[in-house]
Structures are given as C-alpha cells and as structure tokens.
Amino acid sequence: MRDVALMPEKSQFSTPEIRKTRHALVVDDMPVMAKILGRALDEMGISFDHVLNGEEALEAFEAGLYDMVFMDIMMPRMGGVEATKRLRALEKKAGKSPMPIIAVTTKMSGPENTVYMDAGMTDCIKKPVDRVSLEVMVNRHLTGEDADVEVASGYEDVADEMEYVNWDTFREYGELLKGGMIGLIEDYLAAAPNLMDELSDAIAAGDCARVHMFASHFKSASVTFGAEKVAHLAAKIEIRSGKDRLEGLNQLYFDLHIAFEHTKLALTKKLIILKNF
C-alpha cells in the first residue's frame, strides 16, 4: 500500500461538534488544490490524508480510518466517479454504513451532479473550496445539521489591508498558474465592481436565485487569489440565498463591500510589485 502523508491537527477549531474527532481523505491529483482544501479542514480541527488518484484512494480506504472523503473528479489512472463506485462496493462487501463522499469539482451542472449521485457520491462542493462552504458541508454530513450561516452585527475592520489576502494561498496558485497571475488579477479587479453591482441589484430585487449565482461567482474568483475575507462573506451570501432567505443579506453585502475595497488595495499593491519584479 502506498503511504499517505498525515497532516496533523494544529488549528483553532471553529466547530465544537467536530473538533479533534474527525479524519478525512482528500483525493486530488493537484497538490496545490489539495493543500488549500487541507488547510481549511485543518482550521476546522479535521486531520486528513492526501492521495493523488482513485487507485490510491482505494488502497487508503482499506485501512478504515476515514469519516469523510473529498473526491476530485478528473484524475489520472482512476477518476473520482469510478473510484466512488468501487469504494461503495467495498463498503457493501464489508457491511459498513456509507460514509460521506463529496465531489470536489468545477463542474456542477444538473447532468453532471446526476452522474456523481448515481455513482454513489453524497454531495458536491465547488472548487476552489472556501472554508465557510466547507464548514456547512461538514456539519451537514457529519453532525446532521444543515446549518445556516450567522450574520455579524457589524463589520470587524482590520488594521492593514494586506491582511485581507492569504499570501500563502496566493503563492500556491501563483506557482500553479506560472506567469498568468498578473493577467488574472487585472481581470478580477476589472470585473469585480460590476459583479458587486449585479449582486447589490439582485439583493434589492429580492431575487435569491440571482443573488446565489453572483455570490458563487464572486466567491470562486476570490478564493483563487487568497482573498479569504471576501470569499467567506460571499460564501455566506451564497449559502443564505440558496435557502431563499433574504434577511441579513444587506448587512452581509455591506461587509463584503468593505472587505473587497481593502482586498482591492492589497492586490493592487501586489500587482505593482509583480509587474516590476
């Protein structure tokens, strides 16, 4: 059996029900994506192993150590759909109860989700993974709570706008994208204000479907740059609007707007450095 690298618990735990008690398997052929997901798990007090494809997932699964599997879809040697089918067959043969297997993917259309569910997957989460969305997913499948997100009573400011970006995540994506990071930052900074306007208009109109769509787009784009405060707030809007709940969205949008302005300053400073490096 291939050895899997155990990533130890070391974080401040945000969810009392799952702290220090859970162990997950992350299956992804891209170490950067696995590291970002793993960091979010670690922040929640969930330890994890990482393997690179479905074949290695089957080997790791035989030890029976896991409470939850996060499964990439497109991988060499064996993809996530086939691996899930085989994991479910192993569970059935061993007489075990099905564990949550979560598809982690950029492709979440209706037909694609049907394929994942037919293979035996439990749920889907969009890549790149944001911690707020992940925490709701884990609560749903490990504690049985389909929890809503809390809305803060006000915005908690940070002294230095550079703290609005997780620079470790930024560097990891930069390594993955090589020289394309400058253009992506420029595109993000140009497109984000219009996306914010669309989101504001959708909230004002009480259109939860449009709010959900724009918040999801904004969240995914922001995670790529390590803009975690923006991504977390966009995720809260996405989750709440996905439940057709309008209350609290104005406060969340206000907080999101302020967080984005600080993030924009941080990324603009970084852009100048990158262009002159």
According to the model, what pLDDT value does residue 148 have?
A: 64
Quote the pLDDT of residue 19.
42
Q: In this structure, is residue 258 part of a structural domain?
A: yes
| H runs (alpha helix) in the chain | 31-43, 54-61, 80-94, 110-119, 131-138, 167-177, 181-205, 208-224, 228-242, 249-275
Domain count, the chain: 2
pLDDT value of residue 6? 39
- Judgement on whether residues 37 and 127 belong to the same structural domain of the protein: yes
32: domain CATH number is 3.40.50.2300
The confidence score (pLDDT) of residue 31 equals: 85
Residues in CB range of 164: below 8 A, 6 or more apart: 158, 227, 228, 229, 230, 259, 262, 263, 266
Closest CA to 187 of 161, 221, 155, 217: 221
Task: Choose one of 143, 175, 193: the last residue of a domain.
Answer: 143
Q: What pLDDT score does 125 carry?
A: 92
Residue 17: per-residue pLDDT: 46
Residues in the chain: 277
Range of the domain at 187: 161-275
Q: What is the pLDDT of residue 115?
A: 94
| Domain stops at, among 116, 143, 170 | 143
* Other Cβ atoms within 10 Å of 222 Cβ, number: 28
- Same domain? For 10 and 131 the reply is yes
Which residue ranges of the chain lie beneath pLDDT 70?
A: 1-20, 145-149, 152-159, 178-179
Residue 113 and residue 15 share a domain: yes
pTM: 0.78
Measuring CA to CA, which residue among 3, 23, 13 is closest to residue 100? Answer: 23
**Could you give the CA distance from residue 161 to residue 151 in angstroms, rounded to a whole number?**
22
